[in-house]
Amino acid sequence: MGGVGAERRPDGGAPGVVIVGGGQAGIQLADSLRTEGYNGPIDVFATEAHLPYQRPPLSKDFLGTADDPSALPLRAEKFFAERDITFHRGVSVTGVDAATRLITSSAGDVLGYAALVLATGARNRQLAIDGAELEGVHYLRTLDDATALRVELERARTALVVGGGFIGLEFAASASQRGVAVTVLERGERIMGRVLSEPMSQHFSQLHGDASVAIRLGEGIARLTGVDGHVTGGVGTSGALYAADLVVVGIGVEPNVELGRMAGVGVSNGIEVDSYLRTSDPFVYAIGDCCSYPNAHTGTITRLESVQNAVDQAKVLAKTLTGQPTEYVELPWFWSQQGADKLQIAGIVDVAGDPVLRGDPACGKFSVFCFRGDHLLGVESVNNTADHLAARRILSHHLPLTVAQAADPLFDLKAYSRAA
């Protein structure tokens, strides 16, 4: 694998790197390519017309009353000019021809590429039930979504959240702090059940309950009801009625894979890449929420939705594209802020594995070490950055840790993790 080649592009110049998507992954890649010394053309296409911004605050501080209501940018406006990056703001890539290595855009551009990087992210899965189209039914992915929600929160009294995942629960905590009566419907047996261990999910159920968020488990949404086109509530799959003047749907996302299909590369749950983030076409790559890759820590194919994953994949790909082929093996980590409580996850938790408690949940600061047999896979910590950081070191360096050590509050985890 060489670096980025030098052939002609339609405007006469040599083709460079074309990045599709101005999110966390795409912008980091543009930045890292320059840091790694690449000085050819970089074109970033971004459907959203905003200056690229960070998504995590949108379901947290941004929905509160205290903070500055402006989005937190990923980079300052002048970044693109300073780094000589052509930023196609508000312009989508609409076509890819892998044979001639050309993309077309919604603005009519036709541009050749030496490397095409799909960093297209994901979009919200939509509810397909009666009433889904009513006003007052919201999703939360983009700055526009969050701005609309922020406005509605000014007058909402009751909110119904469909889906007990991270985004729904972060919203629930923020809305409840503003005095809105929130009910969360979760179809599964426990909240965040796809990603958290049983004890951690129980703990968060209790925290939300203490904050007066009502959680209904084993309850899906059957339909939404409205008056004059505006939502007034919903009917659960159990037949129960829930009044609400605001509905937030958080039932997961679907990766944006269309351009991968057009390029003729492998697509399943995401655009398929190898450990170098290469698709089946040698000139096409994919990073961030839109790609599924062989995860060195789980030994499975995973598609992650996290800042760490987007940023680290971009950094690794920048190396490969500048002639230093590098495999993506970074340890996944993640956080979620729900009200006053901070959840931090290192590694990937096996929800069906063997959870080991470290510390006492009742004191609000503890961790769950998630083993499968005697093999540590992931660690969840609440309000305990020390454990989280130690876990990151232990997992990244594959340090052995026994169940007894993890459970023993006198075992000095931090010192042990630093011995690596």
Partner 1 sequence: MPSITYVHPNGDEQVIEVVPGTSVMRAAVTNGVDGIVGECGGQAMCATCHVYVRDEFLAALAPMNDDEEEMLEETAAPRDEERSRLGCQLKMGSRLESIVVDLPSMQVEE
Question: Taking CB under 8 A as the rule, which mask of x and - marks residues 401-420 in contact with partner 1?
Answer: --------------------
The amino acid occupying position 193 is G
Rg (CA), the chain: 23
- CA distances for 377 relative to 300, 308, 392, angstroms: 13, 17, 11
Asked if residue 386 binds partner 1 (CB under 8 A), the reply is yes
Asked if residue 45 binds ligand FAD (CB under 6 A), the reply is yes
**Contacting range for partner 1; rule: CB under 8 A; set: 71-79, 113-121, 273-281, 296-304:** 71-79
Please say whether the beta carbons of 378 and 347 come within 8 A.
yes
Nearest to 401, CA basis, from 378, 374, 380: 374
How many CB atoms lie under 10 A from the CB of residue 265? 23
Question: Taking CB under 6 A as the rule, which mask of x and - marks residues 284-303 in contact with ligand FAD?
Answer: ----xx--------------
* Nearer CB in complex with partner 1: 194/414: 414
Q: Which of 32, 120, 205, 279 binds ligand FAD (CB under 6 A)?
A: 120
Distance CA 77, CA 94 (A): 25
What SS3 class is residue 159?
Answer: strand
Identify what 67 binds: ligand FAD, partner 1, none; CB under 5 to 8 Å per kind: partner 1
* Nearer CB in complex with partner 1: 120/417: 417
Distance in Å, CB of 286 to partner 1, minimum: 21
**Contacting range for ligand FAD; rule: CB under 6 A; set: 4-12, 41-49, 220-228, 352-360:** 41-49
Distance in Å, CB of 412 to partner 1, minimum: 14
Asked if residue 363 binds partner 1 (CB under 8 A), the reply is no
Asked if residue 52 binds partner 1 (CB under 8 A), the reply is no
How many CB atoms lie under 10 A from the CB of residue 382? 22
Exposed / middle / buried, residue 31 (Cβ in 10 Å: 0-12, 13-18, 19+): buried
- C-alpha triplet 34, 306, 51: angle, nearest 5°: 55
Asked if residue 342 binds ligand FAD (CB under 6 A), the reply is no
Q: Strand 42-46 relative to strand 86-89: parallel, antiparallel, unpaired?
A: parallel
Q: What is the largest CA-CA distance in the chain?
A: 67
DSSP code at position 73: B
Please say whether the beta carbons of 328 and 277 come within 8 A.
yes
Residues 198-257 that bind ligand FAD (CB under 6 A): 256
- Dihedral sign for Cα 97, 102, 105, 110, please: negative
* Nearer CB in complex with partner 1: 385/402: 385
Distance in Å, CB of 319 to partner 1, minimum: 11
Asked if residue 305 binds ligand FAD (CB under 6 A), the reply is yes
Question: Taking CB under 8 A as the rule, which mask of x and - marks residues 317-356 in contact with partner 1?
Answer: ------------------x-x----x-x------------
Contacts of 50 by beta carbon, 8 Å cutoff, 6+ apart: 71, 143
Asked if residue 116 binds ligand FAD (CB under 6 A), the reply is no
Asked if residue 385 binds partner 1 (CB under 8 A), the reply is yes
**What is the contact surface with ligand FAD in residues (CB under 6 A)?**
20-26, 45-48, 55-56, 58-59, 92-93, 119-122, 140-141, 167, 256, 259, 288-289, 305-308, 310, 334-336
